[in-house]
Amino acid sequence: MVVSTGERPEADSADSPAGWVMRKLPHVTALFWVLKIVATTLGETGGDLLAQTLHVGYLVATLIFLGLFVVAVTVQLRARRFHPAVFWTVIALTSTAGTTLSDLMNRTGGIGYTGGAIVLSSALAVVFVVWWRSGQTLDVENVATFKGEVLYWIAILISNSLGTSSGDFLADSVGLGFRDSAMLLSAIMLALLGCHYFTRINGMALFWIAFVLTRPLGATVGDFLSKPRSHGGLEWGTMWTTAALLAALVVLVAFQTWQIRRHPLEPIPAPVHRRTGEPQRPNGAVVSAG
């Protein structure tokens, strides 16, 4: 797991005519992970609300959420700096779309939770290979090109879909249930945090492992809150659980927005190709090096 200090990166902007670029993506801090878990839990219950409770079905719900995702991510890609409300809207929509897409594959498509996890893991591996070969930075805090940000959002959409399959696999196929699955995943997250501080394991590898695992954590917590007691849940229902999580997300996003207004994010050096060092066109607002 990666936790950032939020300090300005050590780099010489004089080598680039563009100077510095405003961040499009947030620092990976404790608040980031809290927001991610709330957003992914909301994605689980929101996806179930539309597909199951409102009887829209997995296919139609997936098409609706993917359409909303395309609109939101277009706004995000066109933005010139980080906007918490836009960013977390996209994250929440990748979670809802990931929930219904995973269920469409695993249940309607009949490939099962194990098959779904294998397919989505393979797809995520392909995205990372393409990302690596593209020459874009793999540092998720310092992505500053259009191509890099597109790869970032594709990886997030697939990872959230994979997280849904993984959570269902643990809770149903393995038989741990919602509560025990959530406890196991929480323990793994704590272990990843320890690895970040006390080992030399690559920080980006820890980030993506943690990012994938927060999705099944959110899924199992969402199911635990919303499912009936006969299935091991608290029987809040998808509607009330979704409403509560949406309210929590709005409050947290408002807090992050207030926080950033008080302490604006520092810009990052203008992007260069990871292997050749050639300057690349930045996707954020360019600022002077001063």
pLDDT in tens, 99-129: 888 888 888 888 887 888 888 889 999 999 9
Smallest Cα–Cα separation from 104: which of 156, 50, 68, 152? 50
Q: What is the pLDDT of residue 220?
A: 72
Of these ranges, 90-94, 117-121, 180-184, the one predicted with the greatest mean pLDDT is 90-94
Of these ranges, 5-14, 33-42, 202-211, 230-239, the one predicted with the greatest mean pLDDT is 33-42
> Is residue 235 domain-resident?
yes
Q: What is the pLDDT of residue 200?
A: 86
> Is residue 185 domain-resident?
yes
> Is residue 119 domain-resident?
yes
Label residue 232 by pLDDT band (50, 70, 90): low
| Range of weakest confidence among 14-18, 19-23, 51-55 | 14-18
Q: What is the pLDDT of residue 135?
A: 92
Label residue 82 by pLDDT band (50, 70, 90): very high
Q: What is the pLDDT of residue 1?
A: 52
Q: Look at residue 12 and tell me whether its pLDDT is greater than 50.
A: no
Distance CA(90)–CA(76), nearest Å, equals 8
Label residue 10 by pLDDT band (50, 70, 90): very low
> Is residue 34 domain-resident?
yes
> Is residue 139 domain-resident?
yes
* Bigger pLDDT: 173 vs 132: 132
Label residue 6 by pLDDT band (50, 70, 90): very low
Label residue 84 by pLDDT band (50, 70, 90): very high
Query: 3-class SS at 279?
Result: strand
> Is residue 286 domain-resident?
no
> Is residue 285 domain-resident?
no
Q: Look at residue 279 and tell me whether its pLDDT is greater than 50.
A: yes
Q: Look at residue 172 and tell me whether its pLDDT is greater than 60.
A: yes
Smallest Cα–Cα separation from 214: which of 160, 256, 257? 160
Q: Look at residue 88 and tell me whether its pLDDT is greater than 70.
A: yes
Domain that holds residue 64: 19-270
**Bridge partners for 279 per DSSP:** 272
**Total structural domains within the chain:** 1
Those residues whose C-beta lies under 8 Å from the C-beta of residue 7, and which sit 6 or more positions away, are 266
Distance CA(12)–CA(18), nearest Å, equals 12
> Is residue 92 domain-resident?
yes
Distance CA(80)–CA(224), nearest Å, equals 39
Query: What average pLDDT does range 21-40 have in this prediction?
Result: 92
Q: What is the pLDDT of residue 218?
A: 73
Q: Look at residue 176 and tell me whether its pLDDT is greater than 90.
A: no
Query: What average pLDDT does range 254-280 have in this prediction?
Result: 92
Q: Look at residue 290 and tell me whether its pLDDT is greater than 60.
A: no
Q: What is the pLDDT of residue 249?
A: 95
Label residue 183 by pLDDT band (50, 70, 90): confident
Query: What average pLDDT does range 273-280 have in this prediction?
Result: 89
Q: What is the pLDDT of residue 19?
A: 82
* Sole residue written with tokens 């820890």: 206
Q: Is 288 exposed, middle or buried (0-12, 13-18, 19+ CB in 10 A)?
A: exposed
